[in-house]
Amino acid sequence: MSSPAETGVLPGHPFVHLRGQDLFAEEVSLAGLAAEHGTPLFVYSKAAMLAALAAYQRGFAGRDAQICYAMKANSSLGVLQVFAQAGCGFDIVSGGELDRVLAAGGTAAKVIFSGVGKTPREMRRALEVGIGCFNVESEAELHVLSRVAQELGVSAKVSIRVNPNVDPKTHPYISTGLKDNKFGVAHEETLRVYQLAASLHGLKVVGIDCHIGSQITQLTPYLDAMDRVLDLVDAIEAAGIALQHIDFGGGLGIDYQGDTPPAADALWAQLLAKIDARGHGGKKLMIEPGRSLVGNAGLCLTEVLYVKPGEQKNFCIVDAAMNDLPRPAMYQAFHRIVPVSAPSPLAPSARYDVVGPICESGDWIGRDRALQVQGGEVLAVLSAGAYCMSMSSNYNTRGRAAELLVDGAVVHVIRERESTADQMRQERLVRA
Ligand code: LLP
């Protein structure tokens, strides 16, 4: 395999490459996009999303499988549309996400509804449009779903989200399968909860679900979790409750900083071998990947506003901030930051903390980065396709950035830059 330097492809970003000294996403110059559309600006590669999806599709070739994109990673309509057109279902966690799926042309029957706090209103709407399955996370939720389904005179298909108590070896905020997490039903209680589900009116048990965490880069937690889930499948079926599908969640990591997660097809070759060996190869498989489908398909362009040398530190102040790119502030996350064009020879070379304009010390995007920059230059913050725009905010009354979808040489604006008027639309002055 050729190295990034030989191919000019950026690490982790197969569809971002150097032409001369200029960065391109697919066939489009990033400097050109920044000049035309302004910054901060999210740019997504359609080919990169489809390539990431293809790795899972290869892994499931010849199987009855449904890939449900976990849209919390990036819920912009233009992104959802790409996955809907490619045949994906969606993993949702709110009524709002369901509305987005339907607006983007997704199929309700391929939607699974996860999350610990579904409201009766959200359940009702999901049943009315006919979603595929509820991933139920507690006994109390089972009772409410049973009641709502009976009121509507329908049957709700359910999986129970089980908590396999496996350490995914990732950041504590994004571990979800450990005993002390709020998610899922404890391993020891699973059988009892399944028996309850099978006994309640208005519910039809169809599957089992688990999700152990996010940005997982090792194989072992997945293999361990699969063993524990298959133990439960055996126990549940031995109790006379048939399961049609196994939903194994999402969580596969991406390369942010030289991370080397297993490829989706290689991971699934191992997991499928386990499933087959335990005699469950005939079951339908479902997965809920988010980050691994979009994370490295996106980047954020930002302009350097000021370079501010200091005694202890140099700051490179850019026009993107923690409201656009919240992951560093929230998880001390690392995103590569690279210039989109050759630096001016006049620009000083130094180590910088790359920070945004927000009035918080936590508003940083990268720390101690070697850069040759000056005001006016454009930088690309990489691996920004997942959990950036979908977690963005209007803090400091900053409008949300614009978003572009690049498809070969064609550029689609999938989100206009948000104006202050947009932000104030729902607000009212008090009338005397
Ligand atoms: N399914 C369930 C039930 C989940 O809770 C999640 C993510 C996923 C699927 C998708 O996981 P993925 O394939 O994207 O790892 N904001 C954090 C990540 C939070 C993940 C929450 N759950 C971050 O920026 O790192």
Same domain, 326 and 195: no
Number of structural domains (the chain) is 2
- Give percent of the chain with pLDDT exceeding 70: 96
Tell me the one-letter amino acid at 136: V
Residue 431 belongs to a domain: no
Same domain, 245 and 326: no
Task: Note the pLDDT tens digit of each residue in 30-78.
Answer: 999 999 999 999 999 999 999 999 999 999 999 999 999 999 999 999 9
Where among 274, 289, 304 does a domain terminate? 289
387 lines ligand 1 (CB under 6 A): yes
Residue 60 belongs to a domain: no
Same domain, 203 and 218: yes
Position in ligand 1 atom list of the atom nearest CA 114: 3
Residue 58 belongs to a domain: no
d(CA 123, CA 134): 9
Contact yes or no for 74/45 (Cβ under 8 A): no
**359 catalytic residue (yes or no):** yes
Closest Cα to atom 23 of ligand 1:
387
Contact yes or no for 173/211 (Cβ under 8 A): no
pLDDT score at 167: 77
State the sign of the Cα–Cα–Cα–Cα dihedral 38, 41, 46, 48: positive
Instruction: Give residue 2's pLDDT band: very low, low, confident or very high (50, 70, 90).
Output: very low
Residue 80 belongs to a domain: no
328 lines ligand 1 (CB under 6 A): no
Mutate which of 66, 69, 71, 72 for ligand 1 pocket (most atoms within 8 A of beta carbon): 72
User: First and final CA of the chain: distance in angstroms?
Assistant: 71
pTM as predicted: 0.96
13 lines ligand 1 (CB under 6 A): no
Q: Is the pLDDT of residue 183 over 90?
A: no
pLDDT score at 5: 43
d(CA 183, CA 226): 17
161 lines ligand 1 (CB under 6 A): no
Residue 34 belongs to a domain: yes
Where among 289, 324, 348 does a domain terminate? 289
Whole-number Cα distances in Å, 370 to 154, 269, 301, 349: 60, 40, 18, 7
pLDDT score at 6: 44
Q: Given phi > 0 = left and psi -120 to 50 = alpha, else beta, which region is 169?
A: left
d(CA 304, CA 318): 4
Domain that holds residue 258: 114-289
Q: 1: burial class by Cβ within 10 Å (0-12, 13-18, 19+)?
A: exposed
Q: Which of 88, 210, 316, 359 is catalytic?
A: 359
CA–centroid distance, residue 292 to ligand 1 (Å): 10
Query: What's the residue count for the chain?
Result: 432
Helix (H) or strand (E) holding 194: helix 190-199
Residue 430 belongs to a domain: no
389 lines ligand 1 (CB under 6 A): no
β strands within 184-261, DSSP E: 185-186, 203-209, 245-247
Same domain, 229 and 299: no
Same domain, 124 and 254: yes
Q: Is the pLDDT of residue 14 over 90?
A: no
Where among 237, 266, 289 does a domain terminate? 289
Closest Cα to atom 16 of ligand 1:
387
Same domain, 139 and 245: yes
Same domain, 281 and 320: no
Average pLDDT, the chain: 95
Least confidently predicted of 3-17, 128-142, 251-265, 300-314: 3-17
Position in ligand 1 atom list of the atom nearest CA 291: 14
Same domain, 400 and 267: no
CA–centroid distance, residue 426 to ligand 1 (Å): 30
294 lines ligand 1 (CB under 6 A): no
Residue 256 belongs to a domain: yes
Residue 95 belongs to a domain: no
Domain CATH for 250: 3.20.20.10
State the sign of the Cα–Cα–Cα–Cα dihedral 201, 206, 212, 213: negative
pLDDT, mean of residues 98-105: 98
Same domain, 285 and 165: yes
Q: What's the longest Cα–Cα distance across the chain?
A: 74
Helix (H) or strand (E) holding 306: strand 298-308
pLDDT score at 10: 83
Same domain, 403 and 323: yes
Same domain, 361 and 235: no
Of 188, 186, 193, nearest in space to 145 by CA:
193
CA–centroid distance, residue 213 to ligand 1 (Å): 7
CA–centroid distance, residue 302 to ligand 1 (Å): 25
d(CA 1, CA 21): 22
Same domain, 377 and 346: yes
CA–centroid distance, residue 239 to ligand 1 (Å): 32
